Amino acid sequence: MATATDMVAHAAIITKIPLSTIVAVKRRFGETGLWPTARGPNIPDLSTKNVAHLILGLLADTKAKDVSAAACAYYSLRNSHDQTLGDILCRLLDSFKDVEEISPVAAFAFKSRLEIDCNSPRACLTHHCTDGNAEELFGILSKQWDDIAVRRSMTISGRSLFQFGVGIHHDHWPVGDSVIA
């Protein structure tokens, strides 16, 4: 598993979000208990749930003081099958554990994207399939095109989820467009 130091530095490379923003989010997560904090020489490993919260907090694009609440709110959004967005995101990140055999979930995750509506309780997980795209809505279950107001959103690609997953589970991190050991 990755350490917090590794995750913060590489999250900036993966997301292209400024390092200072990610450090502020990590600091706030540590203050609110969403992120394990180091005690003396013990450096705790991160769980997939910690990383899912980080991704959701960054995509929420909110002020640092509100990021923990936003990450938890998006994590707990439910789809029409009563599954939480956070649990689905953890499952997608964990699908990259096995590098020997590509699982159907990993292939599915790589060809997906997660779009978060900022300041609105909705997320859309889109999967590219051979017969088109399949969308799974979390939170507000009406289609985005049905909105009556302008909405702002942030999206993370399946490739970026792959980079986070491989980084967490195998300590292989991206540099530019490639992944290194």
Handedness of CA 44, 45, 49, 53 (dihedral sign): positive
pTM value? Answer: 0.88
Please tell me the predicted confidence (pLDDT) of residue 181: 42
Please tell me the predicted confidence (pLDDT) of residue 115: 94
Please tell me the predicted confidence (pLDDT) of residue 46: 85
Q: What distance in Å separates the CA atoms of residue 136 and residue 126, rounded to the nearest whole number?
A: 6
Q: Which residues of the chain carry a pLDDT beneath 70?
A: 1, 99-100, 143-148, 175-181
Handedness of CA 149, 18, 92, 110 (dihedral sign): positive
Please tell me the predicted confidence (pLDDT) of residue 176: 60
The H-or-E segment that residue 113 falls in is strand 112-117
Please tell me the predicted confidence (pLDDT) of residue 1: 67
Please tell me the predicted confidence (pLDDT) of residue 106: 85
Please tell me the predicted confidence (pLDDT) of residue 133: 80
Residue 75 sits at φ, ψ, to 5 deg, of -60, -40
Domain segments of the chain: what residues?
4-180
Please tell me the predicted confidence (pLDDT) of residue 145: 60
Please tell me the predicted confidence (pLDDT) of residue 178: 43
